[in-house]
Amino acid sequence: MPIVEEYIPAARFLESFNGKILIASHENPDGDTIGSACALYLFLKKLGKDVKLGCRDDIPYFLDFLPASREFMKLPTEEEFDLCIVVDAANKERLGVPVRAKKFMRIDHHKGGNFYGEQDLIDAEAPATASVVYYLLSNWRKDLIDTSIATCIYTGLATDTGFYTNSNTKDGALKLASLLVEKYGVDPHYVAVNVRERNPLRRLKLLSKVLDTLELHSGGKVASMYVLKEWLDKLGAGYEDTEGFVNYARGLEGVDVAAFIIEKPEEGVWKISLRSKDKMDVSVICEKFGGGGHRYAAGCKIPHTKSLEEVKRDLLREIEKQMQNQEGLSDKGETS
Ligand SMILES: [Mn+2]
């Protein structure tokens, strides 16, 4: 359980803040950044704050059931804010666009990153940013948390834990989920059906193409897959349709690290998603390419000027190197 005192300064700061607030979700938004932003937005609205929601990208179809998900404005905007609350992102760059704000605040559960001031609320032990948001709100005005707010928090928690299967699924995540259901009337089945069982046909067609690219490396410990922009265009699919594909590669027996390479020519990059079964810390690999994330899930970008073959080669080389480093570390750990 988080230490209550840590949440008080952030609550006090927001309580006394009287200006224009923007809650900003990161680019290529996931359930945690959208769920956290929506929960905080609904809560601040109840307090009568001047608050807006913003994101560079469209809200993915699997999150459009969330209360307030349709309130997002497209970033960038000319509008200037007194405060921008960056949720679920280690730095402003993760917003994908510049934001005009006098002050920034970070509410997050990622390790490292940039800090904007005393008002930041970061708990690297938290399973999701949504759980950080929950403890902020419950240490502030518990009575204002309703089923809508709780459903947003639950969705962030459920998606970031892979519906309670990822390695961040510990006692704390399950207890919070239980509390949200018992006390605030969240319906887990409703959330699961909305997030996971409204797939458009184009997504499955895309998956079948992507699975065809599956390759194993390093004696079967590493799996890679990719998707090309032209395939998306042909199927009328978007990047949101590739969400979760990397888990098929990670799910293979013997695979410790799965890599998914997404071509994004309009951003001039290849976007890389890495997943591990927790034996390997993939955030370290992504940091080498200027990205980051968690032990079990991380991402980075490689310039599009490189060919797919070069990207694969560079990535696999770094993964291989880190596997040797980290295996070396754990061996040492065992003998000392
Ligand atoms: Mn998160």
Cβ 219 vs Cβ 281: under 8 Å: no
pLDDT digits (tens, 9 = 90+) for 144-169: 999 999 999 999 999 999 999 998 99
Cβ 52 vs Cβ 120: under 8 Å: no
- What's the number of domains the chain is made of? 2
Distance 31 CA to ligand 1 centre (A): 8
pLDDT digits (tens, 9 = 90+) for 42-66: 999 999 999 999 999 999 999 999 9
Quote the tokens at residue 184: 């605030």
- 121 and 223 share one domain: no
pLDDT digits (tens, 9 = 90+) for 180-229: 999 999 999 999 999 999 999 999 999 999 999 999 999 999 999 999 99
- 188 and 91 share one domain: yes
Mean pLDDT of the residues in the chain? 95
Q: What is the rounded CA–CA span in Å between residue 183 and residue 187?
A: 11
User: Most distant CA pair in the chain: distance in Å?
Assistant: 58
Q: What is the rounded CA–CA span in Å between residue 12 and residue 278?
A: 37
pLDDT for 123 beyond 90: yes
- 237 and 159 share one domain: no
Average pLDDT, stretch 235-239? 96
Q: Which residue has the tokens 């359980």?
A: 1
Average pLDDT, stretch 275-302? 94
Q: How confident is the model at residue 1 (pLDDT cuts 50, 70, 90)?
A: low
Q: What is the rounded CA–CA span in Å between residue 299 and residue 304?
A: 16
- 105 and 220 share one domain: no
Q: What is the rounded CA–CA span in Å between residue 55 and residue 37?
A: 10
Helix (H) or strand (E) holding 224, with range, is strand 222-227
Which amino acid would we find at residue 332?
K
- 178 and 55 share one domain: yes
Cβ 19 vs Cβ 50: under 8 Å: yes
Last residue of a domain, one of 139, 170, 196: 196
Q: How confident is the model at residue 334 (pLDDT cuts 50, 70, 90)?
A: very low
> pLDDT at position 73, please?
98
Distance 211 CA to ligand 1 centre (A): 26
> pLDDT at position 35, please?
99
Distance 129 CA to ligand 1 centre (A): 5
- 180 and 273 share one domain: no
DSSP letter, residue 58: P
Tell me the residue length of the chain: 336
Distance 128 CA to ligand 1 centre (A): 5
- 172 and 205 share one domain: no
Last residue of a domain, one of 166, 196, 226: 196
- 40 and 179 share one domain: yes
Cβ 293 vs Cβ 111: under 8 Å: no
Domain, as residue range, for 113:
4-196
Question: If DSSP codes are grouped into helix, strand and coil, which group holds residue 102?
Answer: strand
Distance 147 CA to ligand 1 centre (A): 21
> pLDDT at position 327, please?
83
Distance 109 CA to ligand 1 centre (A): 6
> pLDDT at position 2, please?
62
Q: How confident is the model at residue 335 (pLDDT cuts 50, 70, 90)?
A: very low
Distance 291 CA to ligand 1 centre (A): 15
Last residue of a domain, one of 153, 177, 196: 196
271 phi, psi to nearest 5 deg: -95, 130
> Any idea what the CATH number is for the domain that residue 144 is in?
3.90.1640.10
- 49 and 138 share one domain: yes
> pLDDT at position 333, please?
45
- 117 and 228 share one domain: no
- 164 and 182 share one domain: yes
> Any idea what the CATH number is for the domain that residue 331 is in?
3.10.310.30
Q: How confident is the model at residue 6 (pLDDT cuts 50, 70, 90)?
A: confident
Distance 89 CA to ligand 1 centre (A): 8
335 or 62, greater pLDDT:
62
- 77 and 169 share one domain: yes
